[in-house]
Structure 1
C-alpha cells in the first residue's frame, strides 16, 4: 500500500497520540458537526471528511481498539496490495504475520479493531468508513425478557450516522396477549411502562419511539422495536388466524351425538356434537377466537378426537359385546374391492 493511502487517525482529527479520551471526543464532535451531511447537502468533499472523521473516532474513542491501532498500525502499509491471498505471494507479512487467513486487508482490520458481524456493503448497519456491521450484546435481564438488559438478540442495524434502533423480544403468556397487558421494562438507563393491546401474536411488533440507543454522531435517539413471542399453552394453539384446540369425546357420543362443554379464551361454552362425527373433524365456534383490530374476534376451531375407554367395567364390556354382535355397519366394506 502506498504511504499516501495510510490513514493517520490522529492527523485526521488533528490531535497527538497523547490526547485524552475527553479531548478526542470534544474534537470529534466539533468536526462531525462541521462536516455532517445534513449540514452540507450535496457537498461530496464534506461527506468524505465526515466519513474519515467518523472512522477515526470509532477507533480512537475505544481504548481497546486504540491500543491495537497504535500497536499494529504498521500492517496497514504492508498488507494492502496483492490481495486476495495467493496473488504474488503477498499473503504473508514480511515481519512474520500471516495474512493468508483473510479475504482482504479490510477483513484483517475488522478483526483487529474488534468489530463483530459484517453485513453486505451499502446495507443496514453501514459504518462511517463504508462497510456494514451488525452488533450483538447479551447479558441477563428481568422477567419477560432475555438478553441485553432483558432484550434478546439486541442489534443495531441502522447507519451509524443516524439514530440507532434497538430490537428486543418480549415473551407473553396467552392470557396476557389475549387480554392486553402493561409491562414495565428495564432498559438499563431507564424504566418505561408499555401497554400491549389485546390480540398480540407471535411476530407482532410494537414501536417505542425515542427509546432506542443514542447516536454518538447526531446525539439523536433511535426507536425500540418489541417483537412479541407467545409462550406455549397446554390447550390452545394457532392455525393461521384461527385459535385451535382438540377435545376428546367417547365412542357413544360420536355415534349418538352429544352436548359437551368446550373451554374458550373467555370461558366455557356448550357445543352440540352432531351424530356420526368422525375423529379429526372440526367444529367452528364463530367469534370465540383471537381478538382482531376494531374489536372483532376470530373463530375457534374445535378438533374432535374419539377416545375409547382404556378400562372397561363389566357392564361396559357386556354392552360393547352386544353392540359388536348386533352391529350391521362395516366401515371397511369398500376395502374388499381394492387391488394392485
Structure 2
C-alpha cells in the first residue's frame, strides 16, 4: 500500500497490468494456498496477506469491477493534485483511505453471495461466490449494507459415474477435491440418483477458512444384462422353444453366480420368474431378482431340427391366432 492508501491489486497478485483472467486466477490460487489461515494457524500477518490477496482477486476477476478499478485508480492519482472525476465534484477528503473510496463507489459490501460451484467443475477457487469481500469477511458470511451478513452458499455438487457392479457391491474411489485427494467409500446398494455428502469438502470462503460440503450425485451406468427397477433387479432370460413349451430346470446367472430355476411348462412370455433374496442389496437384506423369459431361436437350424419343426407344424392341434384375427378387425 502506498502512502495515500492506494493498493495496486496487480502488484498484490504479482501479475502485469495486462494479465488475462487465467493468469490472475493462477496467481491467486498459488498465493491463497501459501497464505491461507489453515496453512498458517495463528499467523496474523499471513491472515492479513490472505485478505489482501482475496480483495485483489475480487476486483480483478470481475471484468466490470476491474475496468472501474483501473479508471478510479487514475482519478485517485489526479485527486492528489486537486483533480476531479470527469467533471464530477468528489470530496476525497472525506475518505480515510482508498479502501473507503472504493467501497463507497463500487458498493462492494452490498454484493450478495452467489451459488456454489457447478457439478463436475469444483476445485480450489473455482466455486467462490460472486462478489466476495476482501476485508469485509465475517464468521457468518460477507458483510452487507449496514453491516448485515449476507448468506453465502459454500456447498458444491459433482456427478460420479459408477458401473453397476461397483454400485451393487460398494467400492472406494479417490477424488481430487480442492487440490487434495479424498478417499470416498461408496456403500453397497446405492441407486441411480443417490446422493453422498462429504462434509467440509466443498468451496472455501476466503479470509475465514469456512468450507461448505460437497454433494456427490451418483449415476449408475447401463448394463447389457441387468437393470435396476426400484428395489428389484431385472433381466431377460433367453429360452429355447422347447424350454418354453416343455418347461424344466435351467441354469441361470445371478449377481452371486449361477443358480437353477424351474421353468413351468407352457411358460407365457411376459411373465417373470422370481428369485427371492437374490436381487439388489437393501438396508434389511436383499431384494428379489426377476427373470423375464424371451424366446431365443437359433440363427441356423440343423437338418434334424428342421425336420422336427416340420413334424410339429403338421401335428399342431391349436391355431395360435384363434380369435385374434376377428378381434383385430376395425
The one-character-per-residue Cα deviations of 1:262-300 (angstroms, maximum 9, x if unpaired) are 211111111111111122221111111111113x11111
Partner of 1:67: 66
TM superposition shift of 1:301: 1.2
Alpha-carbon distance in structure 1 between the residues aligned to 2:131 and 2:252: 52
The one-character-per-residue Cα deviations of 1:102-125 (angstroms, maximum 9, x if unpaired) are xxxxxxxxxxx9xxxxxxxxxxxx
Partner of 2:252: 262
The answer to whether the Cα contact below 8 Å between 2:200 and 2:212 also exists between their aligned partners in 1 is yes
The one-character-per-residue Cα deviations of 1:27-86 (angstroms, maximum 9, x if unpaired) are xxxxxxxxxxxxxxxxxxxxxxxxxxxxx877426375543223577xxxxxxxxxxxxx
Give the TM-score of the pair, scaled to structure 2. Answer: 0.61
SS class of match (1:275): coil
The answer to whether the Cα contact below 8 Å between 2:117 and 2:157 also exists between their aligned partners in 1 is no
Matched, 1:297 2:286: yes
Matched, 1:247 2:232: no
Q: Is the alpha carbon distance of 1:148 and 1:165 closer, same or farther for their aligned partners in structure 2, counting shifts above 3 Å? A: closer
The answer to whether the Cα contact below 8 Å between 1:178 and 1:291 also exists between their aligned partners in 2 is yes
Partner of 2:164: 174
Give the TM-score of the pair, scaled to structure 1. Answer: 0.59
1:41-120 to structure 2, matched below 5 A, reads: 59-60=58-59, 62=61, 66-70=65-69
Alpha-carbon distance in structure 2 between the residues aligned to 1:158 and 1:257: 67
Aligned-CA RMSD value: 3.6
1:210-221 to structure 2, matched below 5 A, reads: 210-216=200-206, 218-221=208-211
Partner of 1:325: 314
- Specify every segment of 5 or more residues in structure 1 that has no aligned partner in the other structure, as ranges: 1-13, 26-55, 74-112, 114-126, 138-145
Of 171, 179, 189, the match for 2:179: 189
- Specify every segment of 5 or more residues in structure 2 that has no aligned partner in the other structure, as ranges: 14-27, 29-54, 73-105, 133-140, 142-151
Number of aligned residue pairs = 234
Partner of 2:91: none
Alpha-carbon distance in structure 1 between the residues aligned to 2:210 and 2:201: 11
Larger radius of gyration: 2
Partner of 1:124: none
